[in-house]
Amino acid sequence: MARLTTPYYLIDETRLQNNLKIIQRVREASGAKSVLALKCFSTWAVFDLMRQYLDGTTSSSLFEARLGYETFGKEVHAYSVGFSAQDIKAVRKFADKVIFNSISQLTAHYDAVRGMKLGLRVNPGISYSHFDLADPARRYTRLGVSDKNEVMKVSPLLTGVMFHFNCENDDLDNFCAAIDFIDQNYGALLEGLEWVSFGGGLYFTKEGYPLNRFCEKLKSFSEKLGVQIYLEPGEAAITECAELVTTVLDVVHNEIDIAIVDASVEAHMLDHLIYRTTPRIAAPEPGPYRMMIAGRTCLAGDIFGEYDLKTRLEIGNEVRIADAAGYTMVKKNWFNGLPMPSIVVRRLDGTVEVVRQFGYQDFKRNLS
């Protein structure tokens, strides 16, 4: 590892496989299929491993649908908040299921996808989210159809529906109550369909999660209504499997010691800035030395956080930011023209492979 130049994202396939085995267990025990949410993680260098455990991919755009088709295979679920006519012409070549966000989208594009397995996003008006920004049931939401009667009118055009209403939900009791609500309010709809997706945002790979109860609930729901359940794991599939490896470039002091690393929250772990959360540090270990770790962009708030570390950081020290797979590589950007982190994979056999490096020409081509 010493030969690698920081910064880089390091994906560990062994850790990744641990999550995938849990997903496989859920499939075997409950019958629920799982499709990878590409909006969270699209690093296709590890798809050879992931496709052994997952049933396909789900997308939020034409490009994601095409990527899933070309690099993952198996089922391709194509959803978008808004398809253009050009999108539909292209996506029908790749998709097994096309899921519309609104009735107006469904009716506008129906003739172009007639005969395909079509779905509609339904908003049940309930949700689980720690953040208003990510709450699909927030006021004035545009995500999904809220009027149950209108959904019933177009149900003959559908083979399934999607309820995507969770974000980082690790509360099984809450989830069980939610799908009981869906059963009570949409059971008549589902009995006439082939499949239902409960979307992503379910943290069922978390250590200690009551998997047996989770599987029993999914299975009973599926059997009662006669529908195939789909889950759309994103972070559940890749949580804890990657780190952002950085090097300290400078240490300054302004009331607190501040270590400036060769990466950035703004450019390389943007969700932490958006949601004002603090990433964990995988290394160095915790200890008595209080330090701030900051990125090297000109943004004043480009701060990873304050940490109590085993040793005081010095120039040249390595800092590893934990849990750096979900919503990171898909959102990385060229702000300040910073070097883009390489993508590195530690394979199951322990070998380390640099699968992608970025340089100035990538930066230049990204612009004009």
Q: Identify the pLDDT of residue 3.
A: 75
CATH superfamily of this structure's domain 241-365: Lyase, Ornithine Decarboxylase; Chain A, domain 1 (2.40.37.10)
Tokens of 252: 């300054």
Q: Identify the pLDDT of residue 1.
A: 57
Whether domain 14-238 has CATH 3.90.800.10: no
Which 8-state DSSP code applies to residue 69? Answer: I
- Helix (H) or strand (E) segment spanning residue 238: helix 235-238
Q: Identify the pLDDT of residue 246.
A: 98
Residue 7, preceding peptide bond in cis (omega within 30° of 0): yes
Q: Where are the domains of the chain?
A: 14-238, 241-365
Task: Give residue 222's Cα distance to chain centre.
Answer: 24
Q: Identify the pLDDT of residue 326.
A: 95
Q: Select from 87, 75, 168, 154 the least CA-distant residue to 121.
A: 154
- Helix (H) or strand (E) segment spanning residue 110: helix 103-113
191 touches 150 (CB < 8 A): no
From CA 107, how far away is CA 281, in angstroms rounded? Answer: 49
The pTM for the full model equals 0.94
117 touches 160 (CB < 8 A): yes
116 touches 92 (CB < 8 A): yes
DSSP reduced 3-state for 342? strand
Q: Identify the pLDDT of residue 273.
A: 95
Q: Identify the pLDDT of residue 2.
A: 57
Q: Select from 198, 139, 132, 130 the least CA-distant residue to 169.
A: 130
Q: Is the dihedral of CA 305, 309, 315, 321 positive or negative?
A: negative
From CA 277, how far away is CA 174, in angstroms rounded? Answer: 23
Q: What is the pLDDT of residues 168-218, one digit of tens each?
A: 999 999 999 999 999 999 999 999 999 999 999 999 999 999 999 999 999
* Mean pLDDT (the chain, rounded): 96
Q: Identify the pLDDT of residue 320.
A: 98
Task: Give residue 179's Cα distance to chain centre.
Answer: 21
Parts of the chain with a pLDDT under 70: 1-2
From CA 82, how far away is CA 224, in angstroms rounded? Answer: 33
